[in-house]
Chains A and B, each alone.
Chain A
């Protein structure tokens, strides 16, 4: 039967953290995990209108999916968030392969760390900047914040103008990574 065939399919899923740590679960829907060599049951309580929580070692852990975009997840647990991509064994293999290929990309994007208004832009296209140098002044929640570059390089493009309103993660500036002495 078709149903049986489906069951035989691998149900293994891997949550890959932002630090590239892989958490493997054989079949998440069974709510069992391997912990210190043993199969342990996860007591998951789901309240569709309210809070979901896991009881683990007699402690309550409040859970919430705060962002979900295809296989990209951000989970809040007891007030701390963690981001993962959920992978199957096959997709993980492909991902690792692609990562090895793509190491050489040298464009770095500076994004708005919070929503706000652009007060001043301290660089222009072609400017040479050093790591830690301020590039933009962003006003958010009535404070002026200096946004600085975390790389050394040359400004490839400026994507915002003075007085623009930006959302969190909007692209502000693109930087061509590298030593700044390579002017032509």
Chain B
């Protein structure tokens, strides 16, 4: 069935990203307006707005309110729902409700979401399909005592993971037996909060692996292809900070082998839509299955840049029941792409969130640079959602050229109003092992000692600017004490706040 309209059950950059593809395909887009972001940019980009701002429930955020979303879609006679990432994207109940209400869910079946979402079932499926595994608890853990028993058998360090988890939440590494109980409690609480399911399982922890994931596309007729890998090893507390495609660690042979394993995982649940199979790659190039994400991912643009395939478009076509228009042999990886995540975080204070108003944002785009963002001048970074400001995606013929172009693009990316991870991006680019492609998930904790890059004269120039601003303040006060308020230009969004 041809989709004529779709609702995006998500905000921010990915909402805008989906709107653009929908528009290209002649599909009308609907978005949800919330009281938390009444002036957000994605609202203006969409064709239609469904207003959820008149009432809200602190315990049930708008983008998690399944029945309200389904009700709105039926009321407005919208054909399909794209969940984006996060929120309801990997909620099997939501996909099931869509199926029941004859709404097209632009994603996999609820059964595939459920089975891959439950990590113990997923691991069991991987085992049956001869995909290599880490080893750990056979299912969910009853309590800390059971965790202790298994950990003692397989040896420390171990990692506790939420059975319903993903995205680094509900996940704790335990180095020693004495920390186990405390970490078990922390992970249980976090899992309960984040996924409404406190169940944990335990795995052997590979100390310094690479994190490599494969992009999968599968249609509803049994055709499955992979679109190569993404290198996601540069992480902080399991949160990805930059991704590239391809990975410096893979050659054609290993790519084929891992790609085949990824396809087998997808086939084991009759998967369709876009999905991602995550692996750990050890220093000896042996790999183990970690999990499958049954949604579009934040870092999907690097795959789009090297394959030239619009993944959102493919998800929509697959949801319409179309067959894949290409075979594995026809997919070519072209050049090198890197995505830099620019977050509103204070790198100098342990990446803590830096809330506030983006007073001004600008970058220079060219044939190497793509920027996916949901913010513009005056946008507010709220505590309700993640801290992402923008994704800077750079594409060039080789990794070296992509790094060169990245340096230029990062230098020309200017944001005023909040602290950002741009200084971190510069620090990574300066690191010689990163430039050589020699790194793994321990890069931040071991290799990159200083997480931000300051050039030699910067402190002196900053010191000058502080004294200059101070001296000017005194000068203005002495010269024309009554003019101070007048001379201050007030940005319209600040005025807006004051008037309220």
Could you tell me which A residues sit within 8 Å of B by CB distance? 6, 11, 13-15, 17, 21, 23, 25, 27-29, 31, 33, 35, 42, 44, 48-52, 54, 56-57, 59-66, 68, 71, 73, 75-82, 84, 86, 113-115, 119, 134, 137, 139-144, 146, 168
Contacts and interface: CB of A to CB of B under 8 A. Distances in A.
B468 A77 contact: no
A113 B347 CA distance: 12
Given A77-B461, A115-B353, A139-B193, A62 B414 contact: yes
Given A13-B467, A15-B466, A115 B426 contact: no
Interface stretch (B287-295, B325-333, B363-371, B450-458): B450-458
Given A28-B464, A65-B469, A80 B453 contact: yes
B186 A144 contact: yes
Contacts of A80: 348, 423, 452-454, 458
B463 A84 contact: yes
Interface stretch (B14-22, B142-150, B471-479): B471-479
B420 interface: yes
B353 A114 contact: yes
Nearest to B478: A6
B391 to A, nearest CB: 17
B280 to A, nearest CB: 22
A161 to B, nearest CB: 17
B489 A28 contact: no
Interface string B353-387: 10100001010000000000000000000010011
A51 B423 contact: no
B398 to A, nearest CB: 26
23 contacts: A13-B470, A21-B459, A28-B468, A28-B471, A29-B468, A49-B491, A50-B360, A50-B416, A64-B417, A68-B469, A73-B466, A73-B470, A75-B462, A75-B465, A80-B452, A80-B454, A80-B458, A82-B458, A113-B350, A137-B189, A140-B353, A143-B190, A144-B193
B332 to A, nearest CB: 36
A8 to B, nearest CB: 14
A169 B416 CA distance: 22
A31 B386 contact: no
A16 to B, nearest CB: 9
Given A78-B458, A114-B353, A143-B169, A137 B186 contact: yes
A60 to B, nearest CB: 8
B207 interface: no
Contacts of B463: 15, 17, 23, 25, 75, 82, 84
B464 A33 contact: yes
A61 to B, nearest CB: 6
Contact of B422 (A17, A48, A79): A79
Contacts of A27: 471
**Shortest beta-carbon contacts, A-B, top 9:** A23-B463, A114-B352, A15-B463, A79-B423, A13-B467, A73-B466, A79-B422, A75-B462, A28-B468
B118 to A, nearest CB: 21
Contacts of A14: 467
Nearest to B427: A80
A82 B453 CA distance: 12
A56 B457 contact: yes
B1 interface: no
A17 B459 contact: yes
B50 interface: no
Nearest to B489: A48
Which has the most chain B C-beta neighbours within 10 Å: A6, A21, A77?
A77
A56 B14 CA distance: 38
Contacts of B411: 60
A71 B464 contact: no
A27 B471 CA distance: 8
A131 to B, nearest CB: 17
B61 to A, nearest CB: 11
A42 B464 contact: yes
A60 B461 CA distance: 11
Contacts of B362: 51
B4 interface: no
B179 to A, nearest CB: 11
A61 B414 CA distance: 10
Contacts of B459: 17, 21, 23, 82
B486 to A, nearest CB: 13
A23 B460 contact: yes
Nearest to A112: B352
B349 interface: yes
B201 to A, nearest CB: 19
Nearest to B343: A141
Contacts of A71: 470
B464 A25 contact: yes
A86 B467 contact: yes
B68 interface: no
Interface string B68-92: 0000000000000000000000000
Given A15-B464, A29-B468, A168-B352, A49 B194 contact: no
Nearest to B410: A79
Given A80-B452, A141-B386, 7 more contacts: A6-B478, A23-B460, A28-B464, A80-B458, A113-B349, A113-B352, A137-B189
A15 B469 contact: no
B466 A86 contact: yes
A82 to B, nearest CB: 4
A168 to B, nearest CB: 7
A13 B190 CA distance: 50
Contacts of A84: 462-463, 466
A114 B465 CA distance: 27
A95 B346 CA distance: 29
B452 A23 contact: no
B419 interface: yes
A48 B362 CA distance: 16
Nearest to B168: A143
B237 interface: yes
Contact of B387 (A42, A76, A137, A141): A141
